[in-house]
Chain A
């Protein structure tokens, strides 16, 4: 089982706004930055959000991240078919002395 908890699936129709949650504890999310990754089928993961809320250059502003306490969320607005992918949250865990991932959320665009 993953240290960080994500819903296994999410879905939405084109143009909608969807959010993906990531729940942790005081030893990980509560005390460290959260990162979000997008993995399109058959490709390497790609950094989507760094340090809770920052979008790397080239990431559309449709993607946004937030963090509160021991939870974080990724929001995707104006959903598009090309957003269909697996999404993972990650952070550092002080107790485990290393990064940890959520189990991943498969996003389906209906």
Chain B
């Protein structure tokens, strides 16, 4: 079965960048994408962006345009999420999740275990 394994927790200063990885296993096809969703303290889930495992196409939520980069290493089935210009309100748990098909749909299954990113001086 498909599993997503994320990198560990990070602590960053305001203004810095963070890069979180998400490695997929248990699936040989490439007809899916990886979405990134975050959960900030006392907030709800928020979709950030999507990267296609098929052709590397990306789509970003308007809120994160210019600050977010999603890249995919097809050789290792690993997707990377880089968020730049970190602010304190970027403190959150960041999840990757598989979204089947060639465009994002909101059909997230399975999810990675989550990576806590703390932004603090």
Contacts and interface: CB of A to CB of B under 8 A. Distances in A.
Interface of A: 2, 32-33, 35, 37, 39, 44-47, 50-51, 56, 88, 90-92, 96-104
B47 A47 contact: no
Contacts of B95: 44-45
Interface of B: 35, 37, 39, 44-47, 49-50, 59-62, 95, 97, 99, 104-114
Contacts of A102: 44
A104 B108 CA distance: 16
B112 A98 contact: no
Contact of B106 (A44, A99, A103, A104): A99
Given A50-B107, A92-B106, A100-B106, A44 B112 contact: yes
B44 A98 contact: no
A99 B105 contact: yes
15 contacts: A2-B44, A35-B108, A37-B45, A46-B111, A47-B109, A96-B61, A98-B60, A98-B104, A99-B35, A99-B47, A99-B50, A100-B47, A101-B46, A101-B47, A103-B44
Contacts, number: 72
B9 to A, nearest CB: 14
A101 B109 contact: no
Contacts of A91: 106
